[in-house]
């Protein structure tokens, strides 16, 4: 089947007779080995997978083997079989390859993804067992102890309470806004009063300092001890005057109240006497 081309033997001049005999012997052994190799290659038949498609005997190959071989040659994606199955929307593994493939969760997932025929799983596995149903009911009883009606009623009550709190807050804010003007005027009055008191205190201080200076008849350092003593004395006298003025003002107010009260009592007595007559 394979032809071997023999190269022409070149005549090599040799020297001594021993060297020529050795050279001829090596050529003879090489030719014998080459002929044996050619006979061995002719006697061996190449395997079907090693021979190109054009050299495969179609008669000696079944249709299934031919289709499988063509599909193998057609697959140029180099994807793994399971990945190619997933790409073709078929079950990745025909047989379980891991303990995960035997779990209920995995089988349910395969059934939901590939259907009853594609997943090769009993559809009854999707329904819970008695143990699972009991555990689910127990979990629902502990996690959700109230019925739907009770939860709706509680939600409605909470909504009404929240609405009532918002309305009460709005009423309180409106009531306070009505008093905002009064509060603002009161605040301004207090601020003006404090400012007036501060100005009066400053003016009184300046007046006392000026009186002390006039007492000495010459300019004195305010840090001088004599100045400080005289200033303290003037402040005491001024406080006495202020206190006395407040006392007199208080007495005058009390007298006015007493006079008013006395006038009211006299008027009541006169009315009573007239009624008796």
Condensed to tens digits (0 to 9), the pLDDT of residues 61-114 reads 788 888 888 878 888 888 888 898 888 888 999 888 899 998 989 999 999 899
The answer to whether residues 266 and 251 touch, using CB atoms and an 8 Å cutoff, is no
In this prediction, residue 165 carries a pLDDT of 96
Residue 240's alpha-carbon distances to 206, 211, 228, 230, in angstroms, are 18, 16, 18, 15
CA atoms within 13 A of residue 1's CA, in its CB half-sphere? 9
Low-confidence ranges of the chain (pLDDT < 70): 1-27, 29-30, 38, 40-60, 215-222, 224, 277
The answer to whether residues 27 and 19 touch, using CB atoms and an 8 Å cutoff, is no
In this prediction, residue 155 carries a pLDDT of 95
DSSP character at residue 102: G
The answer to whether residues 111 and 123 touch, using CB atoms and an 8 Å cutoff, is yes
Domain ranges of the chain: 75-143
Smallest CA-to-CA distance from 214 within 201, 204, 227 is with 227
In this prediction, residue 49 carries a pLDDT of 47
User: What is the tally of helices (H) and strands (E) in the chain?
Assistant: 8, 0
The answer to whether residues 128 and 136 touch, using CB atoms and an 8 Å cutoff, is yes
The pair of structure tokens assigned to 250 is 């208080």
Phi-psi region of 130 (alpha: psi -120 to 50; beta: other; left: phi over 0): alpha
In this prediction, residue 8 carries a pLDDT of 47
In this prediction, residue 236 carries a pLDDT of 79
The answer to whether residues 48 and 61 touch, using CB atoms and an 8 Å cutoff, is yes
Where do we find the tokens 């009531």? 175
DSSP code string of 181-195 = HHHHHHHHHHHHHHH
Triad 128, 130, 135: Cα angle to 5°: 85
Smallest CA-to-CA distance from 75 within 83, 60, 52 is with 83
Residues making up the chain, counted from first to last: 277
Smallest CA-to-CA distance from 22 within 36, 8, 12 is with 12
Contacts of 85 (CB under 8 A, 6+ apart): 91, 92, 93
Where do we find the tokens 């021979």? 51
Helix, strand or coil for residue 1?
A: coil
């Amino acid at each position: 089947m394979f032809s071997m081309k023999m190269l022409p033997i070149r005549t090599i001049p040799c020297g001594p007779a021993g060297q020529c005999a050795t050279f001829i012997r090596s050529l003879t052994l090489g030719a014998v080995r080459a002929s044996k190799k050619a006979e061995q290659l002719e006697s061996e038949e190449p395997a079907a997978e090693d021979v190109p498609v054009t050299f495969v005997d179609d008669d000696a190959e079944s249709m299934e083997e031919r289709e499988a071989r063509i599909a193998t040659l057609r697959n140029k994606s180099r994807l793994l079989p399971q990945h190619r199955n997933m790409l073709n929307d078929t079950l990745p593994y025909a047989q379980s390859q891991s303990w995960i493939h035997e779990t209920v969760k995995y089988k349910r997932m395969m059934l939901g993804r590939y259907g009853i025929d594609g997943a090769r799983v009993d559809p009854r596995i999707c329904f819970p067992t008695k143990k699972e149903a009991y555990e689910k009911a127990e979990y629902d009883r502990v996690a959700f102890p109230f019925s739907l009606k009770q939860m709706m009623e509680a939600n409605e009550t909470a909504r009404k309470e929240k609405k009532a709190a918002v309305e009460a807050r709005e009423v309180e804010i409106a009531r306070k806004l009505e008093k905002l003007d009064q509060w603002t005027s009161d605040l301004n009055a207090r601020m003006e009063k404090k400012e007036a008191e501060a100005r009066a205190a400053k003016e009184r201080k300046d007046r006392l300092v000026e009186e002390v200076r006039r007492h000495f008849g010459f300019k004195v350092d305010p840090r001088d001890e004599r100045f400080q003593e005289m200033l303290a004395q003037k402040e005491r006298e001024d406080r006495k005057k202020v206190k006395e003025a407040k006392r007199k003002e208080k007495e005058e107010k009390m007298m006015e109240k007493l006079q008013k009260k006395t006038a009211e009592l006299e008027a009541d007595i006169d009315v009573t006497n007239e009624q008796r007559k």
